[in-house]
């Protein structure tokens, strides 16, 4: 095996996407992850939603991120021979007259190019849609399968080290970064550790806890994601993910009674049919200040970089972000200043 040129620490959405982006450009990544820690990616519903939030606002850099994400996941599907991405419109049912009015005002503007249909096209016996709705461009990634199949492929190619990087596990030398546990020196290291980066690194995290339910609803045959207050995402066998709560500040991963109550209350305004809750989980979104993702060398540490801050949009942002960072690492393309860790983390 050729000597690796980049150690990617962490195999969540950030690390996995970066490792693939390097590989697809002829780089030689080595991925380190013991898979023993809680990972936000394991909780993600995998929605790719260029149009989001109550105001139907366009996600940051949606114009670049959406096509980059579709291209990237299709390419990885080809490499792995598994299906990962389903492209299907997301149904937005209006929650109140203000949202309806906002939509009517903006549908003929920039929002228009993300509209698939100006009606919701849902079965009124299944969903409450008193104010109507619309369908916007979107998709869903099977995140678990993406991570597992990629991990197996990295292992098959000898590119995976199943270890946790200790807090003092890196030493920068004249020739590169010495990784004590590997007994070797690599040209560079990129830390993709999600919220674990809080321990000792200067990322300005503003994390937000999210809880989700998995329900069984045998009467619901809808194959698209439907959203009204909460989203309902089909995952097969009459099962649906429901989510997510958004609680800034909370950083534990314990499902709560209040969280379940909040989700079920909103679900009651979306779904008319009976269901049974079969699972309830919680995780924390790695959001950093300004709510933009971040990538690049840490200030004063040319050979140690980060890729983080994927927030609530990891599946949408990661391919564009990782591709951009990989171009920077391998071809010297300048980093976009809005994401550049060197700029964002510079003192003062
Ligand atoms: C409830 C919920 C629902 C969500 N739904 C969506 C959604 O529908 N769509 C969407 O786009 N986003 C969603 N998100 C956001 C998404 O989960 C995150 O943006 C994304 O998972 C962040 O990925 P990451 O790789 O940065 O972090 P993580 O997934 O946390 O990965 C970090 C990795 O680093 C590893 N690691 C940590 N420390 C070390 C160490 N010392 N040594 C080695 N490895 C280490 C961990 O094992 C882990 O594998 C959701 C988040 C939550 C909480």
Listed by start position, the domains of the chain span 6-44+144-204+290-345, 207-288
Instruction: Tell which one of 8, 40, 166 to mutate to probe ligand 1, the residue whose CB is within 8 A of the most ligand atoms.
Output: 40
Q: Read off the pLDDT of each residue in 37-54 and give the average, rounded to a whole number.
A: 92
**pLDDT of amino acid 300:** 87
Distances 99 to 56, 93, 107, 126, 203 between C-alpha atoms, Å? 8, 9, 12, 21, 35
How far is it, in rounded angstroms, from Cα 309 to Cα 160? Answer: 23
Confidence class for position 201, pLDDT limits 50, 70, 90: low
Distances 48 to 11, 17, 278 between C-alpha atoms, Å? 19, 15, 24
pLDDT single digits (tens) 247-288: 998 889 999 999 999 999 999 999 999 999 999 999 999 999
Nearest to 304 by CA among 155, 165, 150: 165
Ligand 1 surroundings by CB, under 6 angstroms: 9-15, 32-35, 37, 39-41, 43-47, 164-165, 192-196, 210, 212, 243-244, 283-286, 308, 310-316
Mode of pairing for the β-strands spanning 239-243 and 208-216: antiparallel
Distance of CA 208 from the midpoint of ligand 1 (Å): 12
Distance of CA 206 from the midpoint of ligand 1 (Å): 14
For residues 230 and 87, is the Cβ–Cβ distance under 8 A? no
pLDDT single digits (tens) 108-128: 888 999 999 999 999 999 999
How far is it, in rounded angstroms, from Cα 144 to Cα 150? Answer: 10
pLDDT single digits (tens) 131-144: 999 999 999 999 99
Look up residue 114 and give its two tokens. Answer: 């993300």
For 81-118, letters b (16+ CB in 10 Å) and e give eeebbbebbbbbbbbeeebbebbeebeeeebeebbeee
Sign of CA dihedral 198, 203, 209, 212: negative
The whole-model pTM stands at: 0.97
The pLDDT of residue 86 is above 70? yes
Nearest residue (by CA) to ligand 1, atom 50, is 44
CA 200 to chain centre: 23
pLDDT single digits (tens) 315-325: 999 999 999 99
Asked if domains 6-44+144-204+290-345 and 207-288 share a fold, the reply is: no
CATH topology of domain 6-44+144-204+290-345: FAD/NAD(P)-binding domain (3.50.50)
DSSP alpha helices (H): ranges in the chain?
A: 13-24, 62-80, 97-106, 143-156, 257-267, 314-331, 341-344
The pLDDT of residue 92 is above 90? yes
CATH topology of domain 207-288: D-Amino Acid Oxidase; Chain A, domain 2 (3.30.9)
On average, the pLDDT of the chain sits at: 95
């Amino acid at each position: 095996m050729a000597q690796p040129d980049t150690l990617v620490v962490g195999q969540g959405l950030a690390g996995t996407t970066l490792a693939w982006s390097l590989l697809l450009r002829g780089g030689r990544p080595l991925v380190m992850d013991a898979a023993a820690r809680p990972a936000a990616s394991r909780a993600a519903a995998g929605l790719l939603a260029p149009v989001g939030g109550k105001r139907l606002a366009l996600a940051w850099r949606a114009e670049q991120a959406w096509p980059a994400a579709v291209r990237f996941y299709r390419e990885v599907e080809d490499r792995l021979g598994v299906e990962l991405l389903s492209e299907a419109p997301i149904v937005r049912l209006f929650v109140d007259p203000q949202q309806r009015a906002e939509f009517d005002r903006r549908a003929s503007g920039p929002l228009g190019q993300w509209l698939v249909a100006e009606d919701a096209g849902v079965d009124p016996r299944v969903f409450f849609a008193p104010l109507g709705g619309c369908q916007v461009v979107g998709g869903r990634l099977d995140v678990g399968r993406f991570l597992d199949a990629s991990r197996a492929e990295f292992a098959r190619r000898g590119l995976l080290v199943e270890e946790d990087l200790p807090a003092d596990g890196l030493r920068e030398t004249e020739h590169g970064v010495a990784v004590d546990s590997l007994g070797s020196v690599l040209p560079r290291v990129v830390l993709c550790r999600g919220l674990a980066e809080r321990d000792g690194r200067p990322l300005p995290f503003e994390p937000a806890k999210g809880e989700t339910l998995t329900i069984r609803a045998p009467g619901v045959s809808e194959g698209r994601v439907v959203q009204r207050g909460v989203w309902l995402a089909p995952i097969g066998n009459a099962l649906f993910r429901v989510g997510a709560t958004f609680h800034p500040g909370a950083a534990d991963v314990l499902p709560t009674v209040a969280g379940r109550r909040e989700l079920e209350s909103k679900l009651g305004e979306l779904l008319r049919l009976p269901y049974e809750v079969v699972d309830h989980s919680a995780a924390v979104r790695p959001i950093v200040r300004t709510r933009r993702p971040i990538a690049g060398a840490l200030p004063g540490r040319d050979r140690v970089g980060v890729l983080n801050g994927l927030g609530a949009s990891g599946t949408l942002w990661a391919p564009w972000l990782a591709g951009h960072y990989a171009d920077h690492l391998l071809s010297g393309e300048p980093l976009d200043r809005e994401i550049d860790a060197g700029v964002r983390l510079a003192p003062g």
